[in-house]
Amino acid sequence: MPAQIIDGNQLAKQIRVDIATRVAILTAKGIKPGLAVILIGEDPASQVYVRNKVKACEDVGMFSLLEKKPADTTEASLLQRIAELNADPNIHGILVQLPLPKHIDSHRVIEAIAPEKDVDGFHVANAGALMIGAPLFRPCTPYGCMKMLESIDYPIRGARAVIVGASNIVGKPMAMLLLQAGATVTICNSKTKDLSAHTRDADILVVATGKAKMITANMVKPGAVVIDVGINRIERDGKVKLVGDVHFESASKVAGAITPVPGGIGPMTTAMLLVTWPATFDVVVTENLFGDILSDEAAVLAGSLGMLPSASLGA
Ligand code: GUN
C-alpha cells in the first residue's frame, strides 16, 4: 500500500488560520508583535526562505522588518545592528538567516542575540533550556516535524526514532524533542558505520543531510514514518527542481507515512515560526492566549530570563 502523504501545505494553512485569530486578539489589546529578519548576501535559497518568513508574519497580522545586507557586511556591523535590535522595544523577535558568509562567525552572531528574542532557539541558553526539557523557543524545523507526527496521531512514546544528520539547526534539537516525547532516539552523522542498519530499524526516520535522494526504499523499515527535511535544488532538463534527502518515489512504496518535497517541512518551518515566537511573550503579557502551545516550564523560564514584555509592549 502506498504511504500516507503528510501534507505540510495543508497543515501549515490550518496553523496560520489559528495564529491569525490569536494575533487579532493580541492586536485588539494593543499588542503588535514585531519580528526582525536579517539576511546577509545573495544566496537564492535564503532569499526565498526569508521572503516566506516575512510574508507569513504579515499575513497573520504581525509586524516584520526585513533587513537585507550585502555579502561583504562586516561581523562588527552585524553585531552592532543586533545590539540595537536587542534594545528596540518594538522588536520582540530577531532572526538572522543562516548560513552566513564565511568571514562572519555564526556562533558569535547567535550568541549576540538576546535569548528572549532568539526566535530560532539557537542561542546556547535556549539550546540548553530545550535540553533540560524546558524550552523557551523550539527551533522551527524540528518543531514542525513534531507537529507533522502529531497530525497523524503517531504514537511517539516508545517508538524507535532515527535522525540522519546532527546539525544544531535540525538534528540535535529534533533528538531532544523526540526524546521528550518518549521516543528512543539515535542520531546518525557522516561518520556513522552501516547507516542502513540504523535507518531500517527506525519507526520514525527523520532525514536532514542536504544530500539529494540519499535515503532509498531499501533503507526504510516497512510502515515507518519518514520525515524529509532536505530541500535540494537539482537541475533537470534545464529546469531547477526541488527534491528531498529521501528518494520519494521508492521510499513512499515502503513507508507507512511520508512527507513530500516540496510541500512538506518547508511550509511547516515557516508556520512554526509564527507559533513559537509570539507565544513566549504572550504567556507573560496577556491572558496566556497561546498557553496550549507553551509548557508551564517555558513560562517559568520566560520569567527567569527577565522577560518583561508588558513594559516593552506598553501593555
Ligand atoms: N537556515 C536554514 N534553516 C534556518 C532556520 O531555521 N533559521 C535560520 N535563522 N536560518 C536557517
Rounded Cα–Cα distance for residues 304 and 44 (Å): 39
Q: How far away, in angstroms, is 169 Cα from ligand 1 center?
A: 7
CB of residue 118 inside a 6 A radius of ligand 1: no
Q: Is the pLDDT of residue 5 over 90?
A: yes
Looking at residue 29, its pLDDT comes to: 72
| Mean per-residue pLDDT, 286-303 | 46
Grid cell locating 149 = 507526527
pLDDT band at 280 (very low <50, low <70, confident <90, very high): low
- Over residues 13-46, the pLDDT tens digits come to 998 888 888 778 777 777 778 899 999 999 988 9
Rounded Cα–Cα distance for residues 20 and 122 (Å): 25
User: Burial of 63 by CB count in 10 Å (0-12 exposed, 13-18 middle, 19+ buried)?
Assistant: middle
Grid cell locating 288 = 496566556
- Side by side, the strands of the sheet bearing 257-258 are 4-5, 257-258, 225-228, 204-207, 160-164, 184-188
Q: Mean pLDDT over all residues of the chain?
A: 88
Least confident among 89-93, 98-102, 170-174, 242-246: 89-93
CB of residue 298 inside a 6 A radius of ligand 1: no
Residue where the block lists cell 535569548: 115
Which of residues 300 and 252 earns the better pLDDT score? Answer: 252
Q: How far away, in angstroms, is 91 Cα from ligand 1 center?
A: 19
Assign 232 to helix, strand or coil: strand
Which is catalytic among the residues 13, 18, 43, 53? 53
- Over residues 38-78, the pLDDT tens digits come to 999 999 889 999 999 999 999 988 889 999 999 999 999 99
Rounded Cα–Cα distance for residues 310 and 204 (Å): 41
Specify whether 80 is catalytic.
no
Q: How far away, in angstroms, is 218 Cα from ligand 1 center?
A: 30
Specify whether 53 is catalytic.
yes
The phi and psi torsions of 58 (rounded to 5 degrees) equal -65, -40
- Model confidence, pTM: 0.89
pLDDT band at 279 (very low <50, low <70, confident <90, very high): low
CA distance to 161, 207, 268, 272, 315, per residue, from 156 (Å)? 8, 17, 19, 20, 40
| Mean per-residue pLDDT, 151-161 | 98
Rounded Cα–Cα distance for residues 91 and 197 (Å): 47
pLDDT band at 282 (very low <50, low <70, confident <90, very high): low
Rounded Cα–Cα distance for residues 59 and 45 (Å): 21
Q: Is the pLDDT of residue 314 over 70?
A: no
Residue partners of 84: CB distance under 8 A and separation at least 6: none
- Over residues 222-264, the pLDDT tens digits come to 999 999 999 999 998 899 899 999 999 999 999 999 999 999 9
Longest CA–CA separation in the chain, Å? 57
Pocket test for ligand 1, best of 64, 97, 106 (most atoms within 8 A of CB): 97
Q: 32: phi > 0 → left, psi -120 to 50 → alpha, else beta; which?
A: beta
Specify whether 120 is catalytic.
yes
